[in-house]
Amino acid sequence: MKLYISVLNCVSCVAVVLLHTNGIFWSHPSGELWISANFIETYFYWAVPIFFMISGATLMDYRERYTTAEFYKNRIKKTVVPFVFWSLISGMFMAYISEVPMDWNIIHIIDNTFNTRYFSIYWFFIPLFAIYISFPIISFAAENIQLMTFFALIGSIVVFTLPLLCELFHITMNKDVVPPVVSGYMVYIFLGYILDKVTLDKKKRWSIYIVGIIGWFIHFEGTSMLSTGAEINTMFKGYTNFPCLLQSVAIFVLFKYMDYKKIFGRFYHIVSDMIFKCAKCTFGVYLLHYFFVIGLPKEFNIDGRRLIWRVGGGILIFLICALFTHFAKKNQIIRKVLP
């Protein structure tokens, strides 16, 4: 795996944890607490789209490495099995936390797992599975970068831009206008592959950085100005919203073109080796971290409003989960559910 992809894996995973330890944002606090909560929420909002983009960059050309049957077999082992296992564990955990006995009716368990009701953060798996199912078809487009660019452009207009414009001008969005091939998070898949393959000159990169900052500012300031009372205004929120698209593309490009040899200097080989190892643990961190996000404040009576928890606590949870995953994966049985 390319170094910048591993770096993106790591920083995106840290960002996801910080988003969740910053859960106070959704209660719309007031004063300085609202400013810091809104800043953290919008500043790290690119985390989830980056993971979709990484999937596009690393899996779109899977045919060059293995057959479709092998692709599905690997995806089931590495994602479906862990998802089902940890969904059940999270169900038991939430029953323990809430002191409400878990309903062991099989239909109820399937329903809650499929609709990610035990841990809402596992919602990411469902669109990811849909994308995996689509890969054998869309991967043929990998041979034609112009076609993929066309898909990304159309999707950016009808999925990310048009709904926002309709909301701004109070027009009902007709979702039937969205071509199925670019629906949902597919644009991020295409963009991840395109941005990984093409070379951007310095002028284009800086243009992307500038519009990325603009995207973040629209998200931050728009949410701040429009949110009133206990309600969070979501006009500029959403992973398929235009501001998020601008910010996510800018982050992807930024980390791709960083000069890591210059940044890490004489420690380049040591640091890069640590990053590669850390990147292999990020999926485990994603699966495990929410147990700590929910459990630690309850166990130790931690004030979720404090910045030291929302930032320092998030980083600590990431490190704990990464270290646990690294050592746990050495066990052949555990690594089947913590790949």
Q: Give me the mean pLDDT over the 277-292 stretch.
A: 98
For the whole prediction, is pTM greater than 0.85? yes
CA dihedral 125, 144, 248, 128 (to 10 degrees): 0
pLDDT in tens, 102-127: 999 999 999 999 999 999 999 999 99
For residue 4, give the amino acid letter: Y
Please count the CA atoms within 13 angstroms of the CA of 91 that sit on its side-chain side.
22
User: Residue 194's pLDDT is what?
Assistant: 97
> What would the mean pLDDT of 308-328 be, rounded to a whole number?
98
Position 310 scores a pLDDT of 98
Packed helices 242-256 and 186-197: angle between N→C axes, nearest 10 degrees: 30
| Exposure class string for 78-105: b at 16+ Cβ within 10 A, else e | ebeebbbebbebbbebbeeeeeeebeee
pLDDT of residue 1: 85
- For residue 229, the model assigns a pLDDT of 83
- Give the chain's mean pLDDT: 96
Res 325 pLDDT > 90:
yes
pLDDT of 18-44, one tens digit each?
A: 999 999 999 999 999 999 999 999 999
Confidence of residue 56 (pLDDT cuts 50, 70, 90): very high
Instruction: Single out the residue of 246, 278, 252, 204 nearest to residue 52, CA to CA.
Output: 252
- Mean pLDDT for 52-63 is 96
**pLDDT at residue 261 in the model:** 96
pLDDT higher than threshold 90 for residue 142: no
What is the per-residue pLDDT for 322? Answer: 98
Where does the pLDDT of residue 230 fall: very low under 50, low under 70, confident under 90, or very high at 90 and above?
confident
pLDDT classification of 143: cutoffs 50, 70, 90? confident
CA distance 108 to 272: 45
Residue with tokens 């643990």: 281
**Could you tell me the sign of the dihedral formed by the alpha carbons of 115, 117, 123, 128, in that order?**
negative
Q: At what angle do helices 242-256 and 202-226 cross, to 10 degrees?
A: 140
Give the pLDDT mean for 280-295.
98
d(CA 36, CA 17): 16
Kindly report the backbone phi and psi dihedral angles of residue 147, in degrees, each rounded to the nearest multiple of 5, phi listed first: -65, -40
User: What's the mean pLDDT in 188-193?
Assistant: 98
